Amino acid sequence: MGKPTGFIEYLRELPVDRTPVERVRDWQEFHHHMDEKRLAHQAARCMDCGVPFCHTGTLISGMASGCPVNNLIPEWNDLVYRGLWREALERLHKTNNFPEFTGRVCPAPCEGSCVLGITAPPVTIKSVENAIVDKGWDQGWITPEAPAVRSDKRVAVIGSGPAGLAAAAQLNRAGHTVTVLEREDRPGGLLMYGIPNMKLDKKAVVLRRIELMQQEGVKFVCNANVGENVEPMLLLRDFDAIVVCTGATQPRDLAVENRNLTGVHFAMDYLTASTKALLDGGPDRSPIHARDKHVVVVGGGDTGTDCVATAMRQGCKSLTQIEIMAQPPLERADDNPWPEWPKVYKLDYGQEEAAAKFGSDPRVYVTTVKRLNGDAAGGVRSLSTVEVTWQKDSSGRLVPADVPGSEREIPADLVLLAMGFTGPEQPLLAELGVRTDSRSNIEAEHGVFTTNVKGVFAAGDCRRGQSLVVWAINEGRGAARECDRYLMGATDLP
């Protein structure tokens, strides 16, 4: 390493975000960059650890440990320390097609498995990654790289989220003619409509990369809903291969009394409507709006946080977030050792904004919704909740049990359901004849990505279930590699 003692000499330091009070007034990204000298110090904290776990990309206890796309983290940290930014960008792009996406939205499992993190705060890998790629764009180093030779093979990619974009980019790099079919009015999938603009800017970041891919030869067709206005069997006829990257878009519902009251929406419908309004003329035009309303978000995770942050920008009157799990500890528990993902308490950007306005973290833990209560017009007016304890049933599984006397009523004019997803939507898969597993995901082995239908591959959340953007990129790249092998008999794709 360029600075073997850097981890001793420099403390962990993150870029300063815009203040919560300032940033909730607009929809712009809230992160700032550090100056190059301080970034070099942060990169210098990367140890000569011998066996770097940061880029292992494995699952431990069901959660990511290390970078799923196997980023060459020690290498580009060393290059940043030495001031070799363009070389650092080249290393970054070797494993990750879209570091400007992961540098903004990835929860950074790499940092959770950083060797330095055993005894000290880990290296700020995510912020260094983001700084490298943003500098690359600013300096004009990232330019279209169309393949020198084209094959005679045509590939259709269904879905333009992170898995679909990664598959398309890699297959285009291999020289195939790639068409990406997206059912929404803009490409990007989850990156476009599932993540708010203040976390991932649509025009300056997402569309910038998609436009580059178009210049490299990838064709995007929007408003193309395969199974409705696009016939799946025609795709099988007209293309040499198909890569299905439709995501896990079937939301988990809330099975309680009065679920049909107006004012109750799935989180993704809410986030999509908000971003579409922002891009189409102004955020106030969203058909689902939180202004002057008591908002309750049911569920946690990144989607729940994004709902909280969106409602804050829309001017909600109050905000409560209900989570059925217990509040995580402040430090790793004994049963959550390094290099597992650290399950510790974190005040994310949305909760930080709510706390700044309303005085405290909006999350209510170990609580579940028992009933929705309506008004005379059929709209939701409150939720009835109860606290729970987690107990083992006869088979040894932990299940929630109501705590007597803990019932509570929470005012609610807008209820947002952010309880995750149950799998991909099934009609398209049935029409293609693709088999699914017991969880309704497409049956295709990781690393192979082939379905039971010849020439049809699957990648991302539709294959593995709801997961991280970085896992989707991993799968898109992997499916492209195996698709290229199928088309050509061999492949040079990583």
Residue 429 has pLDDT above 80, yes or no: yes
Listed in sequence order, the DSSP H helices in 185-316 are: 207-215, 232-238, 267-279, 301-313
What beta strand segments (E) does 189-302 contain? 219-221, 241-244, 250-251, 264-266, 294-298
* Rounded Cα gap, residues 107 and 15, in angstroms: 16
pLDDT at 276: 97
Instruction: Work out the pLDDT band at 252, boundaries 50, 70, 90.
Output: very high
Instruction: Work out the pLDDT band at 435, boundaries 50, 70, 90.
Output: very high
Q: Which residue has the tokens 């969203």?
A: 286
Residues 258-299: tens digit of each pLDDT: 999 999 999 999 999 999 999 998 999 999 999 999 999 999
Residue 471 has pLDDT above 90, yes or no: yes
Pull the structure tokens for residue 384.
């009835």
Share of the chain above pLDDT 70, in %: 100
Residues 165-187: tens digit of each pLDDT: 999 999 999 999 999 999 999 99
Residues 98 and 104 sit within 8 Å (Cβ to Cβ): no
- What is the DSSP-derived secondary structure letter of residue 118? G
Compute, in degrees rounded to 10, the torsion defined by CA atoms 69, 459, 194, 369. Answer: -100
Residues 430 and 244 sit within 8 Å (Cβ to Cβ): no
Name which of 87, 230, 100 is nearest 159 in CA terms: 230
Instruction: Work out the pLDDT band at 228, boundaries 50, 70, 90.
Output: very high
Name which of 1, 13, 3, 15 is nearest 120 in CA terms: 13
Neighbours of 250 (CB within 10 A): 15
**What number is the average pLDDT over the span 221-230?**
96
Residue 1 has pLDDT above 80, yes or no: no
Pull the structure tokens for residue 243.
């890569």
Omega of the bond leading into 339 within 30 degrees of 0 (cis): yes
* Rounded Cα gap, residues 114 and 51, in angstroms: 10
Q: Which residues of 278-289 are buried (b: 16+ CB within 10 A; e: fewer)?
A: bbeeebeebebb
Instruction: Work out the pLDDT band at 33, boundaries 50, 70, 90.
Output: confident
**What number is the average pLDDT over the span 130-143?**
98
Instruction: Work out the pLDDT band at 2, boundaries 50, 70, 90.
Output: confident
Q: Is 216 left (phi over 0), alpha (psi -120 to 50) or beta?
A: alpha
Instruction: Work out the pLDDT band at 32, boundaries 50, 70, 90.
Output: confident
Residues 179-209: tens digit of each pLDDT: 999 999 999 999 999 999 999 999 999 999 9
Give the neighbor-by-neighbor strand order of the sheet with 154-158.
Answer: 219-221, 177-181, 154-158, 241-244, 456-458
pLDDT at 311: 98
Q: Which domains does the chain have, with CATH numbers?
A: 6-138 (1.10.1060.10), 154-249+422-488 (3.50.50.60), 253-419 (3.50.50.60)
Pull the structure tokens for residue 284.
């106030």
Q: Helix 267-279 and helix 301-313: axis angle, to 10°? A: 50
Instruction: Work out the pLDDT band at 62, boundaries 50, 70, 90.
Output: confident
**What number is the average pLDDT over the span 430-444?**
95
Share of the chain above pLDDT 90, in %: 96
Residues 375-427: tens digit of each pLDDT: 999 999 999 999 999 999 988 899 999 999 999 999 999 999 999 999 999 99
Instruction: Work out the pLDDT band at 336, boundaries 50, 70, 90.
Output: very high
